[in-house]
Amino acid sequence: MSLRILTQSFIRQRVFTPAFAARFYGTKKFTSSHEWIDVEDGVGTIGLTDYAQKSLGDVVFVELPEVDTEVEAEESVGAVESVKAASEIYSPVAGTIVGINEGLLEKPNTINKSPETDGWLFKIKLSDASEIDKLLDEAAYKSLIESEGH
C-alpha cells in the first residue's frame, strides 16, 4: 500500500506541477485525528469524519474561524461542542481561510447527519499543496479506524 502511495506521488511530481495536479486530481485525504480534507483547485474543504462525529455525540455548537485568517498546519481554528465538551478543531494544512459553513451555526447537528458532505467545516486556500501528501489516503484511514475492532 505504501508503495502505491509513493508511486502516485512520484508520478505527480514527475509529470505535473502541484497546481496542475490539484486541478485534475480531486484528493480526499484524512488525518489520524479524524478530519478529512478534499482539495480542488488549490482549495481544501475540511470536515470531521463519520468516526469523529460518532465519538463526539450530538453536536450542539460550532465555532469556526474567520474568513481571511491565515493558519499554520496543526493550528487550532475553532471548536465543536457536544455533551458539554468543547473539542478544539485543527487545520491539517497551512493556508488562508476562504470560506466557512455558516449553515452549521444554525444547524450544528448537520455534522452528525452528513459529516463528510453537508457537514463540512471550512475551506482553506493551501499555501503549500504538497502538504496533503503527508496525510492518510482513504485506505490507510479505513485501516486506522478498523484497528479498534469492535
Partner 1 sequence: MATVRPARRGLISVRSCLERPRPAGARTYASCTLGRAQKDLDCLPPVGYVYLGNVAYDKATRLQTELVSRRIEQVRGGGAGISRLIDVLLLLEHPPVYTNGRRNKGKLSDEEIWRVRAAGADYVETNRGGEITFHGPGQLVGYPIMHIKAHHLAARCYVEGLENTIIDVCRKLGLPAFRTPEFPGVWTSPDRKVAAIGSHIRRYITSHGFGLNCTTDLAWFTHIVPCGLEGKYATSLQTELERHNNHKGADFSSVGVEAVVPLLVESFGSVFNVKMEPLATLSPATLEFIQDRLQ
**Which residues would be at the binding site for partner 1 (CB under 8 A)?**
32-33, 51, 54-57, 61, 63, 76, 79, 81-88, 90, 144-145, 147-150
Burial bucket for residue 41 (CB in 10 Å: 0-12, 13-18, 19+) = exposed
Q: How far is the CB of 144 from partner 1 (least distance, A)?
A: 6
Q: How far is the CB of 105 from partner 1 (least distance, A)?
A: 11
Residue closer to partner 1, measured from CB, 1 or 15: 1
- Given a contact cutoff of 8 angstroms between Cβ atoms, the answer to whether 105 and 52 are in contact is no
Cα gap 136→144, rounded to integer Å:
9
Q: How far is the CB of 149 from partner 1 (least distance, A)?
A: 5
Cell numbers that stand for 25 in this block:
486530481
Q: What is the DSSP letter of 109?
A: T
Residue closer to partner 1, measured from CB, 94 or 145: 145
Question: ∠ CA(51), CA(57), CA(58), 5° rounding?
Answer: 120
Residue closer to partner 1, measured from CB, 21 or 48: 48
Q: How far is the CB of 67 from partner 1 (least distance, A)?
A: 19
Cell numbers that stand for 17 in this block:
506541477
- Given a contact cutoff of 8 angstroms between Cβ atoms, the answer to whether 34 and 49 are in contact is yes
Residue closer to partner 1, measured from CB, 40 or 133: 133
Q: How far is the CB of 119 from partner 1 (least distance, A)?
A: 16
Residue closer to partner 1, measured from CB, 41 or 74: 74
User: What 3-state DSSP class applies to 94?
Assistant: coil
